[in-house]
Structure 1
Amino acid sequence: MDRNQQYERVFNHIDENGDKKISAPELQKCVALIGGELTVQEAEAAVESVDSDGDGMLSLEEFVRLVEGGGHEEKMNELKEVFKLYEMEGRGCITPKSLKRMLSKIGESKSVDECKLMIQNYDLNGDGVLQFDEFIVMMS
């Protein structure tokens, strides 16, 4: 799956009402789901910062600009939050089982063996799991 497909999958997950637009409240709820805090005003400001058509909502293209437009520190914080979603077992790494669980939550069904193969592609130290630094390589 390429980066655009990943963005589209995340976008569709956030777009609760399926209108192909993300509202500030939908963005705020999504950030809360990954353990962050975003006030209504901050969510509105984030949407406004990339809203090129002035409709007060994020299209897929605007969402991608918002995600990619952050600074390095902001991206690292986002990656840390996403990593926490995938690791789930409190071990500080992504295991094949935790990857399988998270993928199923976003509607992608994979076997544990398929997840092992996915991890193997980015497992730089060969321990069978993804550490945060390996996860960064996978996401870039």
Structure 2
Amino acid sequence: MDKLRQYERVFKQFDENGDGKISAWELQQCVEAMGEELSAADAAATVTAMDADGDGMVGFDDFVRFVEGGKEEEKENDLKEAFKMYEMEESGCITPRSLKMMLSRLGESTSIDECEVMIARFDLDGDGVLTFDEFKVMML
């Protein structure tokens, strides 16, 4: 079986509703079905990082590009784009408030307290916000 067919088979496992796109919810469900944990926020951030066309979903082309690894520079640029979506007013960091706003745009209802807990998991310097470098660590 060639690589592309293998990718299609795996992609279809993630694409639960068969619409040709992987949503954050579908990613979360598939990861959990494999016995791992993935929070809604982490799933949303992963989809955002993989989403090249900005539609909030992972298409097959996005999936193949991710699986094949692409160039490091391309990954860095994708992460920067995802980071910009979560930060507010070009502050250079993701705050609990900006995370809450982005998650609500993605259909996730979270409190500021929940967002603080999510950020604390990857807040390496303990300042209560995520810088790009901390975001990058979270995504890798």
What residue in structure 1 maps to residue 120 of structure 2?
A: 120
Residue 68 (structure 2) pairs with residue 66 (structure 1): no
Structure-to-structure mapping, 1:8-87, within 5 angstroms: 10=47, 28=53, 30=54, 58-59=59-60, 63-68=62-67, 69-87=69-87
What TM-score results when the alignment is normalised by the length of structure 1?
A: 0.58
Residue 110 (structure 2) pairs with residue 110 (structure 1): yes
Find the aligned partners of 2:88 and 2:71 in 1 and give their Cα distance: 26
The gaps in structure 1 that reach 5 residues or longer are: 15-26, 34-57
Percent identical: 53
AA in 2 matched with 1:139: M
Q: What's the Cα RMSD here?
A: 2.9
1:93 deviates by 0.2
What TM-score results when the alignment is normalised by the length of structure 2?
A: 0.58
Kindly provide the CA deviation profile for residues 91-117 of structure 1, in whole angstroms up to 9, marking residues without a partner as x.
110000000000111111110100000
The gaps in structure 2 that reach 5 residues or longer are: 1-23, 29-42
Find the aligned partners of 2:65 and 2:117 in 1 and give their Cα distance: 31
What residue in structure 2 maps to residue 89 of structure 1?
A: 89
Equivalent pairs counted in the alignment come to 96
Find the aligned partners of 1:89 and 1:98 in 2 and give their Cα distance: 9
Please identify which structure carries the higher strand content.
2
Find the aligned partners of 1:138 and 1:10 in 2 and give their Cα distance: 13
